[in-house]
Structure 1
Amino acid sequence: MAPLVTSLNSLMPRLQKSLSRSEDFTAEAAPRVRTPMAIARTQAEVPLRRVEKEENRQAVREMIRAVDESSRTAGQLLDHAMVSFRTDDLARETIQLDELIVDTVNRLHPISELRDVEIKTHKLMRTKIQGDPILVQNAIQNVLDNSVKYTCADTKITVMLDQSDGTAHIRVQDEGRGFDDTEIDQLLLRFERGKNANGIVGSGLGLTIVDDIMRAHGGHIILSNNAGEGACVTLSFPL
């Protein structure tokens, strides 16, 4: 038994070092992937303003869309890798959840304003949870990003936070397309996208990332539709 124990004891530091290197690689790779994509998109927009023939303009639009698809998929693959590394050795810090929500909403305001969508908070109960603040913010941001993409212009997204039975609930309600009831169970799977996603740039990884983060924190995500129209995503964390 002694040799086995010695081998295991020597393995753990090497494993931790390997995981740390992998996380460092992901962090360093992100800008190297995203920056060239952003430059390619900017360069493609230049001829779009100059081309006169509609068929040529359409070809440039399709090229820009392909760049957007590739950029988003690459970005979310890197995010997924980052989440995997961080959930393997989950940090446990005290998170002021209501303040984190406000910060995340403020970060997304420039994007939502471009789409004429208002994100507002409503009745955010003062709430503290234990967890990894980077991952929790990533989960909230992915949900809000989805809502902004799938809702219509001149509508609003409402973010609420309350508590019940020892659990904190973040609810994000929009006025968009809602979920197809026959597809809800599949949307948390990797690379799965709903039928209503046609024409919208996405990778099918956003909700998978959120689900992984929630499970790592002992919580869960629930997808549902509002009584009127639009979707509701609930993130529940243990207190």
Structure 2
Amino acid sequence: MAKPLILWRNARTRLVLASMILSTALTALVLGLVYVTANRTIENETRSVVTAELAGLRDEYERLGTIGLMAAIDRRVKDAADRDALYLLTDASGNVLAGNLARWPDGIEPGSGWVNLDLTRMSSGDDVSISAASIRLPLYERLLVGRDASARQQFDRVLLRSVGLALLAALALSLLTGWLLTRLVFSRLSDIAQTADDIVSGDLSRRIPVRGSGDEFDQMAQTLNDMLDKIEELIGNLRMTTNSIAHDLRSPLSRLRQRVERLTDPESVAPEREVDAARALAEVDHLLRVFSQLTEISRAEAGLGRDEFEDVDLVSLVRDVTEFYEPVAQDQGVTLSIEGQATPIPGHKPLLAQALSNLLENALRYAPAGSTLTVSLDQADDCVSLTVRDQGPGVPDDQLDRLSQPFVTLEPARSDQSSGLGLALVAAIARMHGGQFEARNCSPGLATLITVAR
């Protein structure tokens, strides 16, 4: 009892059975309609022929009387190409006057409509099933015209047998079709399940096979693979961030511990304690900045704050942020320049301002004195690009992709107090706004830019 229950719980079995039942039911309905239509067509044709013959024989009777009608029936019996034609003419007492039937059927009144009955053929003495109609003539003679129904019954048997064979063929075909369909569907589902199992086992590089057919399964597989690429990227960033946190924070925490130990040393003198206290506070401030930036990156990656999106005038935002850094630039002998225009976009204004601030701080850190630092806006159909370009030394081309990774430090791109999270936060903010971060060497200088969806 358990085995059939397990089979019924199998989705493939249920799908095959459903396909088989639906296909068979549809085939049975179509064949049933064919059978009924064929029978009605044959019956209507037979009735039309018999009705026409009755009308013709009645005309013979009205023109030539009973004797003429008898002669007409005899001619039709002898010369009929259709040997299934049956005729019977009797007088008012039921005596046979003409035709090829032995007697008038019991219980049948002339003019009672279309009837199916069994009578005896006069020539052979065999009982035959007939379909017939009858009329009463003016002198009370009774006229019956019909057709042998045995041929139609044989046709019914052949048709029913054909319908049965067609149903069996449809059943077998639907079973095969269902099996092939489920094999196709479940083979693709098996690919997805196997890939998922491998990923659960720890192999994040596994992807769902794309067979190149371009069908919905391939489209779904490509979408899932894109999702897996994103998940692998996020997990890789998480691992790298975790490792970087463990590595980069070990030194400041160790220094902080040493300074606190010296502060608690009773033999230390006041000036040394003041220096250690100041440096300990600096280390704490540095750690707080790191954790604050990590929190901001996590919130941006998670999309928190999208409900705070508003129309942001990038031109005004660029002008305000640039004016804020103007004194710093003047102290370094750097000229700030703004270029380009853009229409307002939906975005998180404080985060976009933070991203631009990080780009400017990064550029000012190694922009040479006497150079120009350019902030430009470039609008396209579906996005707006915000670029900050300096005229500094740039970075090696093979290191450009690493700039937005957390805790990555490339000399001279950062000072000793930099946490290596500024550009990582910029990249997270760009992704939050449906765009991306990019860095490229301009010879001279480095251009860092973010694209934001419109």
The equivalent residue for 1:101 is 318
The equivalent residue for 2:347 is 131
Are 1:235 and 2:454 an aligned pair? no
In structure 2, relative to structure 1, the CA distance for the partners of 1:157 and 1:135 (3 Å cut) is same
Q: Cα offset for 1:171? A: 1.4
In structure 2, relative to structure 1, the CA distance for the partners of 1:162 and 1:69 (3 Å cut) is farther
Preserved CA contact (<8 Å) 1:159 1:173: yes
Are 1:110 and 2:327 an aligned pair? yes
Secondary structure at the residue paired with 1:211? helix
Q: Cα offset for 1:185? A: 1.3
Q: Which amino acid aligns with 1:171?
A: T
Larger Rg: 2
User: How far apart, in 1, do the equivalents of 2:317 and 2:449 lie?
Assistant: 16
Superposed, which structure 2 residues align to 1:19-168 within 5 Å?
A: 71=285, 74-85=288-299, 87-90=303-306, 91-122=308-339, 124-168=340-384
Any stretches of 5+ residues in structure 1 without a counterpart?
1-59
User: How far apart, in 1, do the equivalents of 2:334 and 2:437 lie?
Assistant: 23
Q: 1:59-101 CA deviation, whole Å, 9 max, x = no partner? A: x9xx999987864563353144245336323221000011100
In structure 2, relative to structure 1, the CA distance for the partners of 1:88 and 1:198 (3 Å cut) is closer
User: How far apart, in 2, do the equivalents of 1:197 and 1:64 lie?
Assistant: 26
The equivalent residue for 1:175 is 391
User: How far apart, in 1, do the equivalents of 2:279 and 2:392 lie?
Assistant: 22
Preserved CA contact (<8 Å) 1:179 1:231: yes
User: How far apart, in 2, do the equivalents of 1:152 and 1:66 lie?
Assistant: 32
Preserved CA contact (<8 Å) 2:441 2:447: yes
Q: TM-score with structure 2 length normalisation?
A: 0.36
The equivalent residue for 1:22 is none
User: How far apart, in 2, do the equivalents of 1:112 and 1:232 lie?
Assistant: 17
In structure 2, relative to structure 1, the CA distance for the partners of 1:236 and 1:115 (3 Å cut) is same
Preserved CA contact (<8 Å) 1:159 1:171: yes
Secondary structure at the residue paired with 1:219? coil
User: How far apart, in 2, do the equivalents of 1:219 and 1:190 lie?
Assistant: 18
The answer to which structure, 1 or 2, has the higher relative contact order (CA under 8 A, 6+ apart) is: 1
Q: Which amino acid aligns with 1:237?
A: V
Preserved CA contact (<8 Å) 2:293 2:421: no
The equivalent residue for 1:222 is 438
Preserved CA contact (<8 Å) 1:69 1:201: no
User: How far apart, in 2, do the equivalents of 1:219 and 1:81 lie?
Assistant: 20
Q: Cα offset for 1:179? A: 1.8
In structure 2, relative to structure 1, the CA distance for the partners of 1:161 and 1:210 (3 Å cut) is same
Secondary structure at the residue paired with 1:157? strand
Secondary structure at the residue paired with 1:112? helix
User: How far apart, in 2, do the equivalents of 1:64 and 1:109 lie?
Assistant: 30
Preserved CA contact (<8 Å) 2:290 2:421: yes
Q: 1:161-208 CA deviation, whole Å, 9 max, x = no partner? A: 111232101111100121211111111111001133375541100000
Secondary structure at the residue paired with 1:196? coil
Preserved CA contact (<8 Å) 1:93 1:132: yes
Q: TM-score with structure 1 length normalisation?
A: 0.66
User: How far apart, in 1, do the equivalents of 2:385 and 2:329 lie?
Assistant: 23
User: How far apart, in 2, do the equivalents of 1:163 and 1:119 lie?
Assistant: 21
User: How far apart, in 2, do the equivalents of 1:112 and 1:225 lie?
Assistant: 21
Preserved CA contact (<8 Å) 1:100 1:137: yes
Q: Cα offset for 1:217? A: 0.8
Q: Which moved more, 1:169-178 or 1:188-197?
A: 188-197
Runs (4+) of structure 1 exceeding 2 A deviation are 63-77, 82-87, 195-201
Preserved CA contact (<8 Å) 1:83 1:135: no
Preserved CA contact (<8 Å) 2:359 2:388: yes
User: How far apart, in 2, do the equivalents of 1:209 and 1:82 lie?
Assistant: 7
In structure 2, relative to structure 1, the CA distance for the partners of 1:178 and 1:67 (3 Å cut) is farther
Q: Cα offset for 1:110? A: 1.9
User: How far apart, in 2, do the equivalents of 1:184 and 1:200 lie?
Assistant: 20
Secondary structure at the residue paired with 2:329? helix
The equivalent residue for 1:206 is 422
User: How far apart, in 2, do the equivalents of 1:81 and 1:169 lie?
Assistant: 25
Preserved CA contact (<8 Å) 1:69 1:202: no
The equivalent residue for 1:32 is none
User: How far apart, in 1, do the equivalents of 2:327 and 2:280 lie?
Assistant: 23
